Amino acid sequence: MSNPQDWAPQPAAPPLIPSREHVLAGLHATDEGGADLVQLLTPEGVRVGDPRFDAYAADVDVPALQALYRDMVLVRRFDREGNALQRQGQVGIWIPLLGQEAAQIGAGRALQPQDMAFPSYREHGVAWTRGIDPVDLLGIVRGTDHGSWDSQEKRFHYYTIVIGNQCLNATGYAMGQKFEGKVGDGEDAEATICFFGDGATSQGDVHEGFVWSAVYDAPVVFYCQNNQWAISEPNERQTRVPLYKRAQGYGFDGIRVDGNDVLACLAVTRWALEECRTGNGPVLIEAFTYRMDAHTTSDDPSRYRLADELELWKLKDPIERVRVNLVREHGVEQEFFDAVQAEADELAARFREHCMSMPTPPADRIFSEVYAEGSPNLDAQREAFLAYHASFEPDGSLAGPSIGRA
């Protein structure tokens, strides 16, 4: 981060952005809690009470907490494998979720089967909770498909690459739920949840979604995973107020939850979804978390953030706090953790094997899957491309005589 004195209008003027020390001090203060942050499990693994949200986590007994722990460990393991596969040239890109497992698993497990989820491109953990096999995510990053699951069956839309666009899609879907009478007090009432990052809150699509959902009381939970960095820009370049407070300007509720606390994320999301199903939506949740890896594998976070910031957040690891709670407060033995790790390793091996064995799509796939019906122009382009493609040998070299050689 640049020195504010280098570009302030005049020496006596207050700095336009905080210094590094102020950024870290603010980070520490905000994450420590206070009236804003909903937290049920501290970084030290201590269960703390919250009169408003305890009831929404009352059914989380030891087996349920172990299940949440298992979810996070397995998701982290195949996420790490995806990173490794990209480094080895097996996928074109990988979008890590390291550090955001609690935010995603807590929210995902709060959903009812009839609810609908709209992800961005990082919600591997939410996909897991919706019953999507992690291998089905590989086609997107290997360039063979846009997603191989049935989005209506799984109630989980395909990944959205355009930043913030899913907020419009989710708002429209939620408006349809209301128009079709699927909002109310019955057990079959529905809600929608939309996932996006802090950087997306600077996109117009997100704010347009806020406006329409507020005007039509759409049953949609806007779930912002504030991981502190919009690619390479910190929060202070995105907003002058905490993100959850932006909801006030649109006339609906906003709340901040500790995004590294899976219990709090579960409880708050259950509450928000219930609000939406019963006609009291929309709701904005800011899950205050941290991206512990790069934005994607094409990013180098060491160029824009401080090492001590990362070290601070390692102490608030979402998986470790659950492990400590299970051991100290519930006496869970090491055998359980070893079994989960073994299962995670098996999943990673299957994930890798599937990636390595994926067939290469035929060359005409980029034409055959674009339009339902062909056209003379498209047919001509396809023929020209296929002829050009056929001019190469399997090793990528040109077939026949080299250019300029007799």
Distance between CA atoms of residues 13 and 59, nearest Å: 54
**Predicted local confidence at residue 373, as pLDDT:** 87
* pLDDT, average across residues 135-155: 93
Confidence of residue 36 (pLDDT cuts 50, 70, 90): confident
Q: What is the mean pLDDT of the chain?
A: 90
DSSP string, 275-289: HHHTT---EEEEEE-
Q: Which tokens sit at 212?
A: 């329409």
Per-residue pLDDT at 18 exceeds 60: no
pLDDT digits over 298-321, tens only?
A: 999 999 988 888 898 999 999 999
pLDDT digits over 209-257, tens only?
A: 999 999 999 999 999 999 999 988 888 888 889 999 999 999 999 999 9
**Predicted local confidence at residue 19, as pLDDT:** 61
**Predicted local confidence at residue 285, as pLDDT:** 98
Per-residue pLDDT at 13 exceeds 80: no
**Predicted local confidence at residue 7, as pLDDT:** 40
pLDDT digits over 53-100, tens only?
A: 999 999 999 999 999 999 999 999 999 999 999 999 999 999 999 999
* pLDDT, average across residues 366-387: 89
Q: Which tokens sit at 327?
A: 């051991």
CB 231 within 8 A of CB 203: no
Distance between CA atoms of residues 311 and 303, nearest Å: 16
Per-residue pLDDT at 11 exceeds 50: no
